[in-house]
Homo-oligomer: A and B are copies of this chain.
Amino acid sequence: MKLQPNSVSDFKKHLERFIKIDDDEFAQILKYFTYKKLKKHQLLIRAGDKVKHTYWTKKGLLTSNFIDQEGKEHIIQFANENCWITDQNAFYNQTEAIFSIVCVEDSELLCLSYENREKLCAAMHKMEHFFRKKANDSFTKQQKRLLTYLTADAQKRYDLLLSEYPTLIQRLSKKTLAAYLGVSRETLSRFGR
């Protein structure tokens, strides 16, 4: 499917968080991307598959989850509008996913293959700059989350999540939130609200 610049103006805004680009450049950039539409419950990445793409969420909501040896589900990331998602390790190293990525809602995505990402970065220094900044940003967010596991108990982690993503949370089931927080559904259920 052909990508129309005006249909992804949010993506331009997203890029402009870190770099300045004009319309011509934006049109150039879009050539490296493809478009994908998925329905609720559909799988974007299945654990075990080779991971060829990273995805920017134009619309919808997805989770990246891990099933452990005991069959328990853990959520490593969720992505709503304007977020990037993939199995990062598998994508960067072009290996098999350990996470599955599934749509919580009908979703629309921009897809960037590893090859195209490298080509884009090589062709446009600006985009390499963008991805560097983005990666630094993702790292610190991740670190912040890690810190909550070190410093806060289940109740506090839940409170923090509520205060940080008040609207997003309403789009997710408590079961999903529990899997994200690293708490059992029952324990989460006993917390207020």
A→B interface (CB under 8 Å) = 66, 68, 72, 74, 76, 88-89, 92, 121, 125, 128-129, 131-132, 135-140, 142-147, 149-151, 182
**Which B residues are CB-close (under 8 A) to A131?**
132
The residues of B that contact A76 with a CB separation of less than 8 Å are 143, 146-147, 150
Is B137 within 8 A of A182, CB to CB? no
Nearest B residue to A142 via CB reads B142
Residues of the B chain whose Cβ atoms lie less than 8 Å from the Cβ of A146? 76, 142, 145-146, 149
Would B121 and A132 count as touching, CB distance under 8 A?
Answer: yes
Which of these, B88, B125, B143, contacts A88 with CB under 8 Å? B143
Query: With the chains together, A139 CA to B129 CA distance in Å?
Result: 16
B150 and A74 contact, CB distance less than 8 A: yes
B128 touches A88 (CB 8 A): no
Once the chains are docked, how many angstroms separate the CA of A141 from the CA of B184? 25
A68 vs B153: C-alpha distance when bound (angstroms): 12
16 more contacts with CB within 8 A, not counting A125-B128, A142-B146, are A68-B151, A74-B147, A74-B150, A74-B151, A76-B150, A89-B144, A121-B132, A125-B125, A135-B135, A135-B139, A138-B139, A139-B142, A146-B146, A146-B149, A149-B182, A150-B182
Query: Which B residues are in CB contact (< 8 Å) with A125?
Result: 125, 128
- Chain B residues positioned under 8 Å from A139 (CB to CB): 88, 135, 138-139, 142
Complex: A66 Cα to B149 Cα, angstroms: 13
Considering the complex of A and B, which 6 residue pairs feature the smallest CB-CB distances, nearest first? A135-B135, A132-B132, A89-B140, A74-B150, A149-B149, A68-B151
What CA separation (Å) do A72 and B137 show in the bound complex?
Answer: 27
Q: How many whole Å from A93's CB to the nearest CB in chain B? A: 8
Bound form: Cα–Cα A142–B143 in Å? 7
- Complex CA–CA separation, A68 to B151 (angstroms): 7
Chain B residues with CB under 8 Å of A72's CB are 151
